[in-house]
Structure 1
Amino acid sequence: MNKTTFFLGATAACAFALPAAAQDLCGGAVSSGAWIGGDEANSDISTAGSHSDQLALVLLGNAHVSLFTVSSPTDVRLEAQGQGSGDPLIELLDGNGSVVGGDDDGGGGTSSLMTQTLQPGQYCLLTNSYDTMAPLTATVRIGRTEHEALTEVGQSGGDRGGEGSDGGGDMPPVEMDDCGGLWELADGPIDGQLGGGGITMTETINQVPGYSFQLASDAMITITAENEAADPVLTITDSTGGFIAENDDFDGLNSRIDFTTPLAAGNYCIKLDALSDGNVPVTVSVTEYDPAAAAAAMYDRGETAPPMDGSYPITDIGTIDGRVVEMVQIDGDDAKWFSVSVDAAGLLLIEAIGGNMGDPVLRLFDDVGREIGYNDDFGMGLDSQVAARVQPGTFLLAVMDISGSSPQLRVVMERFVSAR
């Protein structure tokens, strides 16, 4: 991403963060960024003596990218506080480029705040302006939860500015101990109801802007909010309003938060906001986190490559020698997966053609699951094209259509070898 940034060094002293090479950044999801501690060695939040700050100027809708690592499981706090009328948004990507979480206004007023337990690895924190056309100057702070906080909620554990949801709708403020009177999912702890389909509630967001629930013991859970007509935003806080996690558009326009590390016993609040229609019913579910189901859902969305052990449907195209054409019918939103092999080094060119009706998307992975190609909307139309330089081996191709009413796609695969 092109951007202009000015960096303010960690805590007391001024330091200028050096840009990192593009190939090192969160699986290639971002093209440039700056280490929060000035360089990679000083950007390990697990071992940092204090928080680190950057002062970011965001122009023309581009994002400021802050880079950091954690070397052991760490409770981190990520904050962005705008200057003047600035309204920052933050989004966190892991080392594979997958969205871990994000926030808008969780730090009180227009400030952003996200706290989460992160596993060892590299992370990219993207700071954008809520008004994509307006320039933003913001302080970005990354530290552990015991470090000094930047935002109001981080300092006091208070409410989110007293206005409830981002849109200032009917959401009551979150109050001490009772989630502002939000509906209870159950009378007492929900631990024994998480299996199977879990607990499910369906109401409009304008009528029921959130729910409260209690855990008697630590638990890994999944929380979803579903109805694309509403475009729901899902925010989880503790009972005092302390921000925990937020998600928008995890699966299409539906939202989902997976707590892959146990959520501690206690009282929690589910806050909902509708970015589209608040008068349509939204189904909110709280279930036991299922790693296998979560992985299968990622395969269905084409976000990561499935195993080639027969446990997930993959159509074997065989060895590509010249050109192969496949007609592919996409049913629903799930990706169709194909395996292709090449027996010599060269260029693999793949096209998905929708005939001016569909909107295909292509993702190409190598045999160990690294994404080596992605495209949506190649050229002037909605068709997709991926060109990847490959060595002999087997590759996995995900074919999707995001139009919602896919025709039969024509997928063309061609192998080119170097002139000798």
Structure 2
Amino acid sequence: MIRPFSTALATSLFALVALPALAQDANLCGGVGANGQWLGGDEASSDISTSPAHIEQMALVLMRNEFVGLFSVSQDGDYRIEAQGRGGGDTVLDVRDASGEIVASDDDSGGDASSRAESFLTVGTYCVSMRSFDGSPITGFVRAGRMDQEPLTAGFAAPSNDVANGECDLSVAQQLTLGEPLANPWATQNVYSFELDAPAAVTITAENEAADPILTLFDASGNWLAENDDFDGLNSRIDMANMLPAGEYCVALNLYGDESLPITVTAKAYDAMEVQMNLYARGDASPPLDGSYPVAALGELQTRLRQDVTVGGDAIWYSFDIYAGGLVLVEAIAQGQGDPVLVMYDDLGRLVGYNDDSDEYGSVDSLLTVRVQPGTYLVAVRQLDNQTQGLIRMVFERYVPARP
């Protein structure tokens, strides 16, 4: 028998934002931009190539949601995209092109926990997502503009060849060969370089969660190009999806952890498919339902369903079908060791629910409560700690409105 739900139950995810015009394309930025807001107020005023000043929106984001702002570029060039939280809020931003590919991502490059990405962008429409680093509620500003316009954030100071400040000295750099990892303790080696014989898109990673590395990329002249702290757990990754010119590049490595631990640094050719697969594995985007990525189909969710799964840091995905509006509860309960995270999307790839700890009696188990309409929904479960592998009991429950 299908259980009714009372009006006391509420959804677990919502966001309040100042609302300029909405996007109309449900597939914009791979679905992320479906409910995005034009940063200039409307589409015509959101071209940062021709705007007389920067464009900006303020957003209040609650309960692990994100604000998505839209802007366009009518001339290829260098642009600055920023996010800054009020009251010391720690922002994270991602910039996606119209196809949904991340072209820039940043946590703290704006200084004081603000985010700042300075990237070469080609003609097209872009989505910038702002969220809180720890998932707590945040009020912040999102700004997009040209390099000659007023910045929102302080950014980093001018380079002084001081690695401890995230800067680079090519004279002490160890040469990287594309595709070949190098591992050294930070105290022994913390500056690397690589050379491109021809224009290329590249990915740079720094791996050892116990060391908690930080990556910063510069060109040979010392110009800051990109920075990342925590991309995959406490590991760092920079994806330069747009072609870098031929030449030499400098990679500065910093860390928050033990300086004696080895950190594996790799520079390799950018692989758009790998980037997309990583998004699915982290639960940061929903996979397609065409069989190209493993999603366990549970069929129609009628009343209550239980599923046990052994999962680590990579998400395990489920889909289920709803044929009448109502409420869905999804629980992830650790059976022994584990700290599960739940993420839920609709079939258009829109995030509709996220939970880490349900906070019931201090529990680290996860609980989602999501109001649903007819359609297909996807749920991902993973461990918060990438190093943990454990049994998680999943419970899916459906409720329908009580009749008056």
Q: TM-score range by the shorter chain?
A: 0.7 to 0.9
- 1: CA distance between counterparts of 2:142 and 2:300? 49
**Matched residue type, 1:341:** D
- 2: CA distance between counterparts of 1:35 and 1:310? 34
* CA contact 1:113–1:243 (8 Å) conserved in 2: no
Q: How does 1:389-408 map to 2 (within 5 A)?
A: 389-403=371-385, 404-408=387-391
Kindly state the Cα deviation for residue 269 of structure 1 after the two structures are TM-superposed. 0.7
Over 3 Å counting, the alpha-carbon distance change for 1:257 and 1:22 in structure 2 is farther
Aligned length: 368
Q: How does 1:255-266 map to 2 (within 5 A)?
A: 255-266=236-247
Match of 2:183 in 1: 202
* CA contact 2:94–2:106 (8 Å) conserved in 1: no
* CA contact 2:103–2:241 (8 Å) conserved in 1: no
- 2: CA distance between counterparts of 1:74 and 1:337? 39
* Residue 376 of structure 1, aligned match among 331, 338, 356: 356
Match of 2:214 in 1: 233
- 1: CA distance between counterparts of 2:161 and 2:38? 34
- 1: CA distance between counterparts of 2:397 and 2:141? 48
Percentage of matched positions with identical amino acids = 41
* CA contact 1:91–1:103 (8 Å) conserved in 2: yes
Match of 1:351 in 2: 331
Over 3 Å counting, the alpha-carbon distance change for 1:318 and 1:37 in structure 2 is closer
- 2: CA distance between counterparts of 1:44 and 1:393? 35
* CA contact 2:216–2:253 (8 Å) conserved in 1: yes
Matched position secondary structure for 2:251: strand
- 2: CA distance between counterparts of 1:398 and 1:144? 38
* Residue 160 of structure 1, aligned match among 158, 182, 189: 158
Matched position secondary structure for 1:199: coil
**Matched residue type, 2:52:** G
**Matched residue type, 1:407:** G
**Matched residue type, 2:158:** R
* Higher mean C-alpha deviation, range 34-43 or range 303-312: 34-43
Q: Please say if 1:282 is aligned against 2:260.
A: no
- 2: CA distance between counterparts of 1:344 and 1:152? 47
Kindly state the Cα deviation for residue 52 of structure 1 after the two structures are TM-superposed. 6.0
TM-score by length of 2: 0.74
Kindly state the Cα deviation for residue 229 of structure 1 after the two structures are TM-superposed. 1.0
- 1: CA distance between counterparts of 2:398 and 2:114? 50
* CA contact 2:69–2:127 (8 Å) conserved in 1: yes
Match of 2:145 in 1: 143
TM-score by length of 1: 0.71
* CA contact 2:329–2:397 (8 Å) conserved in 1: yes
Could you report, residue by residue, the CA deviation over 1:132-184 in whole angstroms, capped at 9, with x for unpaired residues? xxxxxx99974223x25669999xxx97352624x55xx7x535xxx343122
Match of 1:122 in 2: 127
* Residue 46 of structure 1, aligned match among 49, 52, 55: 49
- 2: CA distance between counterparts of 1:103 and 1:303? 15
Could you report, residue by residue, the CA deviation over 1:49-100 in whole angstroms, capped at 9, with x for unpaired residues? 344689x9xxxxxxxx99662244652124799xxxx999764234789894
- 1: CA distance between counterparts of 2:355 and 2:266? 33
Match of 1:182 in 2: 173
Match of 1:69 in 2: 71
Matched position secondary structure for 1:206: coil
- 1: CA distance between counterparts of 2:261 and 2:252? 16
Could you report, residue by residue, the CA deviation over 1:17-40 in whole angstroms, capped at 9, with x for unpaired residues? x9337998x9999xxx99876887
- 1: CA distance between counterparts of 2:141 and 2:381? 40
Matched position secondary structure for 1:261: strand
- 2: CA distance between counterparts of 1:88 and 1:224? 26
- 2: CA distance between counterparts of 1:304 and 1:139? 23
Over 3 Å counting, the alpha-carbon distance change for 1:389 and 1:275 in structure 2 is same
Gaps of 5+ in 1: 1-17, 57-64, 129-137, 187-193
- 1: CA distance between counterparts of 2:379 and 2:231? 21
Matched position secondary structure for 1:228: coil
- 1: CA distance between counterparts of 2:142 and 2:351? 30
**Matched residue type, 1:378:** S
Over 3 Å counting, the alpha-carbon distance change for 1:236 and 1:356 in structure 2 is same
Identify the structure with the greater strand proportion.
Answer: 2
- 2: CA distance between counterparts of 1:253 and 1:391? 37
Q: Please say if 1:311 is aligned against 2:316.
A: no
Over 3 Å counting, the alpha-carbon distance change for 1:358 and 1:292 in structure 2 is same
Could you report, residue by residue, the CA deviation over 1:325-372 in whole angstroms, capped at 9, with x for unpaired residues? 111111x31111112122322222111112574211111122232222
Could you report, residue by residue, the CA deviation over 1:184-233 in whole angstroms, capped at 9, with x for unpaired residues? 225xxxxxxx4xxx132111122111211221211111111111111111
**Matched residue type, 1:294:** V
Kindly state the Cα deviation for residue 42 of structure 1 after the two structures are TM-superposed. 4.1
Over 3 Å counting, the alpha-carbon distance change for 1:221 and 1:342 in structure 2 is same
- 2: CA distance between counterparts of 1:228 and 1:253? 5
Q: Please say if 1:388 is aligned against 2:370.
A: yes
Matched position secondary structure for 1:246: strand
**Matched residue type, 1:326:** Q
* CA contact 1:79–1:140 (8 Å) conserved in 2: yes
Higher relative contact order (CA 8 A, sep 6+): 2
Kindly state the Cα deviation for residue 252 of structure 1 after the two structures are TM-superposed. 0.8
